[in-house]
Structure formats: structure tokens, C-alpha cells
Amino acid sequence: MRTTTPKRSEAIGEEAVAVVRAPAVPSKMMAAVLYGSEDLRLEQIDVPHLAADEVLLRVRLALTDGTDLKVWQRGYHAKMIQPPAVFGHEVVGEVAAVGKRVDARWRMGLRVIAANSAPCLRCFHCRRGQENLCEDLLFNNGAYAEYMRIPGRIVMENMLEVPHSVDDGSAALVEPLACVLRGIHEMEVRTGDTAVVIGCGPIGLKYVRMLSRRGVRVIALARRVAPLEVARRMGAIATINVTQVRDVVAAVRNLTEDDRGADAVVEAAGNPATWKQALAMVRRGGVVNFFSGLSSGTRVEIEPAAIHYSEIKLISPFHHTPRFIREALEAIRRGDILAHDFVTEEIRLEDLPHAFEKMKSRSGEIKLAVRP
């Protein structure tokens, strides 16, 4: 049976707004607060206050990912987070409190996923269907905590109810999967095409699975045996351990028709050498998806003539849009992506600082599930 408590007022700056809370919401919570480079501290802090259009989630589960690892190492993210701050963004939770202007469908106890951003839907790029490039893209972090505030714009545009058939771990994969699905959409691959995925971390493996589900022949490249075995299970028709091959580009081309190269290449490893390899592996008229991105200031030498006269299409998809958040949740509901293929261990919130230390040394984890 669902129960609620009477409304009460909370001061938000100079404005007092009515907030409906579930009975069990405390005033304090445990959270992982990032203070700087590799400086993550478990602290007891105030449960976030809500504006009239916002929702408070009780975090059921949060997942670690490569972006959060980079944020932890660097101590900040120029677009998403400035310390000191609670971070983490792949989350599934239950509605624990709502502001007075929140739609009634977001009832107490409802299990939801909330994306880590929402566009304004009014700016130049939003009007052109490029919401990921929104000039006022609102980011949100805070999943590594017992409770998480969801801003009103995300509540409106990018918060979705989780189907009963979907487990918490799988639901929390929606945000990174949405980025992958948008990348595949931009690649315009066809059934029967051959695609190379460089890097078999969580993102690369999602590309392997979702491209395979579209009838694409996937060749997966990585530096270790374990992720290549997972890539096989995900549907890769061939795998290459790049540490055991003298000429990786030639090895890839030998697996394509007439050695002409792949129809598409996804660079998901994130270093200049693999960017150059990706350009050498693609066929004339093919597409290279530079998904991983590189640190600001990095330079990669390319030969413009090779790109121009071979008419190679270069793309670098960034982030997701509301459309692909919804498509990702539906793909997970169908069972295309499941948590047990990615999540290697479940940990407590207090174990998170040590977990990042282990992830830094690449000790084998794909993703970790954090339960506050």
C-alpha cells in the first residue's frame, strides 16, 4: 500500500515550496564527495532540498563507468562537475519526494531511471534536432549517494519509469547505451556490413552487441583475453588481441572482402595510436566513428589526401538525446543488453574510493554496481 505524509514547506533560497516526502526520508545522507584529483571522501551531508519542479530519488543502484573514472582521476569535468561535489550519473532509483509542481504520475516509490542531462529544446541546435549540442545542456550528477536530486528539466524530458521486467542493474545501463545507439544511428551501417570495434570496455562491448543485433559482422580488438571472450559472447564474428599481432591493420583487412577494409570502424579505446589505426582500417567510402574522444590538446597526424580521395566519412558522436534514452530503455526491456554481461561485482558505497583505485590499474572490472 502506498502511503504519503502531509505536505510541508522547505526554504529554497527566498522561496518556500511545498514538498511531498515519503515517511522514511531523513535529513542527512551518506555520499561520495569528490574534492579533487583522486580525492574522494565518504561524508554525511544534507539530503538535497527540492525546487517546485524537482524530484528526489532514493538511489537503488549506481554504476561506475569510464567517464566517472576520468573525472575521479582529473578531479573535475569542465562541462559536468566542479568539486567539491557528489558525482556519478548511471542510476536507477525510487521516487522519494516531489515538488509541488511535479506531475502526479511520479508517485512515491515508483522505480525510475533519470538521464544525466536534458536539453532546453529552444536553442539553435535543439531546433535542428541536435539536442546533444544544446547551448544550455543541463547536466546532473550525484548518483554515488543515498539520495539524488533530479532537476525539473530532466524530470520533464529524461526521466522514465522502469518496466517491472527490467532489473536494477540493467536499467542503470540506459544512459551509456543511449550514447551508443546514437553513435550507431550516425554511422548509417547496413545489414551485412563489416564493422571493427577497437576497445572492448563497456562502451565497445555495447557497440559489439548492438551492431551484431543489426546483422553487422563485427571484428573486435582489445589488449586482453577476457574482454575479447566477452566480445565473442556479444556477437563478434572475429576477435584480435592487438598485443599478439605485428600488423593490426593488415590483420583486420585480411578479414574483409578482398582485403579492402571495414565498412565502418568504431574507435572506443581512446588513444592517438588507435585513432590512426582506425583511419587505416576503413575501406574507401566507409565511416570512422571516433567515439572515445581524446584529452584537450592531443594531436593526431592524418593524411588529408587519403581521406579526401577515398571519401571517408569521419564522425565523433557526443552524448545522447531524449530519443535515444527512450530507445535504450526499450532495447534493455527486450533483453538486448543485460547487466550480467557488464557488471562484474556489487559493492557498498563506502567501498567506492578503493574501487576507483583498483579500476585505475585495470584489474579486470568491466563495471561495478554501487548500492548505497
Task: State the Cα–Cα distance between residues 26 and 33, nearest whole angstrom.
Answer: 19
% the chain with pLDDT above 90 = 85
Flag whether 270 is in a domain: yes
Residue 3 in any domain: the answer is: no
pLDDT range class, residue 364, cuts 50, 70, 90: low
In-domain check, residue 321: no
Residues 55 and 133 in one domain: yes
Decide: residue 269, CB within 10 A, 0-12 exposed, 13-18 middle, 19+ buried. Answer: buried
Residue 2 lies in a domain: no
My answer on whether 345 and 205 are in the same domain is: no
Are both 94 and 195 inside the same structural domain? no
User: Quick one: 190 and 146 in the same domain?
Assistant: no
How many independent structural domains does the chain possess? 2
For 62: left if phi > 0, alpha if psi spans -120 to 50, otherwise beta; the answer is beta
Statement: residue 229 has pLDDT above 50: yes
DSSP states of 95-109 as a string?
EEEEETTS-TTS-TT
Are 21 and 169 found together in one domain? yes
Rounded CA-CA distance 345/365 in Å is 8
Q: Residue 347: which H helix or E strand, with range?
A: strand 343-348
Is 33 contained in some domain? yes
Q: How far apart are CA 153 and CA 162, in angstroms?
A: 19
- 56, 199: one domain: no
**pLDDT by residue (tens digit) across 31-80?**
999 999 999 999 999 999 999 999 999 999 999 998 899 899 989 887 88
Stretch 170-185: mean pLDDT: 98
Q: Give CA–CA dist 161/202, Å, rounded.
A: 24
Instruction: Identify the CATH number of the domain in which residue 187 sits.
Output: 3.40.50.720
DSSP designation for 296? T
Does residue 323 lie within any of the structural domains? no
Domain assignment present for 45? yes
**Could you say which DSSP state residue 223 is in?**
S
CATH number at residue 97: 3.90.180.10
Q: How confident is the model at residue 1 (pLDDT cuts 50, 70, 90)?
A: very low
d(CA 68, CA 352): 11
Confidence of residue 287 (pLDDT cuts 50, 70, 90): very high
Decide if 77 is inside a domain: yes
Q: Are residues 101 and 32 in the same domain?
A: yes
Of 75-89, 186-200, 269-283, the poorest mean pLDDT is in 75-89
**What value does the mean pLDDT take over residues 114-130?**
97
Same domain, residue pair 116 and 204 = no
What's the domain range around 273? 180-315
Listed in sequence order, the residues at least 6 apart from 336 whose beta carbon sits closer than 8 Å to its beta carbon are 209, 210, 213
- Average pLDDT estimate for 128-145: 97
Give the pLDDT confidence of 13-36 residue by residue, as tens digits.
334 456 777 667 999 999 999 999
